[in-house]
């Protein structure tokens, strides 16, 4: 759902840029306060992996395709939506600058949808639903992160005068309800793989606890 240039008037692009820059400021603050040295290799490989997997479009129905975004994954692994904002911003900026995937003028909106909305929906839905079981909670959080990012995108396209509201919401919602299933399945697979490879960096058992609490047990 990378928005290209020309879909949003510049005056509205500026508003999304400001939102993205404020969120980036907070994500930098999060990294300076919470991102530990031992987490850096995982942060870097997940960024590289998300960049690569975003090029792997999977066909869905109706002649359409979609790919994993990864914001819920990052928010869950690092137990913070700001981690998703920071990592997705790095990926989206490089995609926009080097590969023409997502417009430069629309970069703020793309960071808002995929990084901020994706990360916050992913984090808070996982946190709120993990009592029903962590794996279904990861799936629900990842599915909703895509679906709600697409709904936000449809509303932005309507404000921009680019999509009609009813058709935009219906089609963006329908397509991304299906793409969200891909996001959900892959997020569950990757979360479990990280937990089994490096339980010291991520585990359901210690989720959201500070390092000191984990070590003192």
Partner 1 sequence: MKSRDKKLLIGGVIIALIIAVLAPFLASSNPDGLESTAEKVMPNPETEPAIESPLPDYTIPGFGKEGEVLALVVGTIVVLIIAYGISAALKAGK
Least gap, CB of 80 to partner 1 (angstroms): 12
Q: How far apart are CA 85 and CA 34, in angstroms?
A: 14
Task: Using DSSP, state whether 55 is helix, strand or coil.
Answer: coil
Judged by CB under 8 A, does residue 12 bind partner 1? no
Least gap, CB of 168 to partner 1 (angstroms): 6
Least gap, CB of 132 to partner 1 (angstroms): 28
Query: Which residue among 57, 129, 195, 203 contacts partner 1 (CB under 8 A)?
Result: 57
Question: Between the CA atoms of 185, 186, 189 and 193, what dihedral angle is there, to the nearest 10 degrees?
Answer: -170
Q: Which is nearer to partner 1, 74 or 140 (CB)?
A: 74
Q: Are residues 48 and 70 in contact, defined by beta-carbon separation less than 8 angstroms?
A: no
Least gap, CB of 97 to partner 1 (angstroms): 7
Query: Which residue among 15, 129, 159, 198 contacts partner 1 (CB under 8 A)?
Result: 198
Judged by CB under 8 A, does residue 213 bind partner 1? no
Query: Which residue among 21, 55, 189, 215 contacts partner 1 (CB under 8 A)?
Result: 55
> Residue 113 corresponds to which tokens in the numbers above?
């949808």
**What are φ and ψ of residue 117, in 5° steps?**
-65, -45
Scanning residues 114 to 173, which ones bind partner 1 (CB under 8 A)?
Answer: 150, 153-154, 157, 162-164, 167-168, 171-172
Find the helix or strand (DSSP H, E) in which 66 lies. strand 65-66
Judged by CB under 8 A, does residue 197 bind partner 1? yes
Q: How far apart are CA 160 and CA 2, in angstroms?
A: 15
> Residue 112 corresponds to which tokens in the numbers above?
């808002």
Scanning residues 69 to 88, which ones bind partner 1 (CB under 8 A)?
Answer: 86-87
Q: Which is nearer to partner 1, 65 or 132 (CB)?
A: 65
Q: How far apart are CA 186 and CA 202, in angstroms?
A: 17
Q: How far apart are CA 12 and CA 66, in angstroms?
A: 26
Judged by CB under 8 A, does residue 36 bind partner 1? yes
Judged by CB under 8 A, does residue 22 bind partner 1? no
Judged by CB under 8 A, does residue 35 bind partner 1? yes
């Amino acid at each position: 759902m990378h928005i290209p240039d020309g879909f949003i008037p510049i005056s509205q692009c500026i508003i999304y840029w400001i939102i993205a820059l404020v969120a980036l400021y907070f994500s930098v603050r999060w990294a300076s306060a919470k991102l530990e040295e031992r987490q850096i290799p995982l942060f870097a490989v997940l960024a590289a992996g998300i960049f690569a997997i975003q090029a792997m479009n999977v066909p869905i129905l109706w002649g359409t395709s979609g790919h994993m975004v990864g914001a819920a994954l990052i928010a869950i692994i690092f137990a913070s939506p700001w981690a998703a904002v920071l990592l997705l911003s790095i990926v989206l900026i490089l995609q926009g600058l080097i590969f023409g995937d997502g417009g430069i003028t629309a970069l703020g909106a793309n960071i808002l949808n995929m990084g901020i909305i994706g990360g916050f929906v992913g984090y808070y839905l996982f946190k709120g639903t993990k009592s029903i079981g962590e794996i279904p909670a990861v799936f629900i959080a990842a599915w909703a992160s895509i679906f709600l990012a697409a709904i936000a995108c449809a509303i932005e396209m309507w404000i921009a005068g680019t999509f009609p509201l009813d058709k935009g919401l219906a089609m963006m919602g329908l397509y991304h309800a299906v793409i969200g299933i891909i996001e959900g399945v892959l997020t569950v697979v990757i979360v479990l793989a990280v937990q089994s490879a490096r339980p010291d960096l991520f585990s359901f058992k210690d989720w959201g606890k500070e390092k000191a609490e984990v070590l003192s047990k």
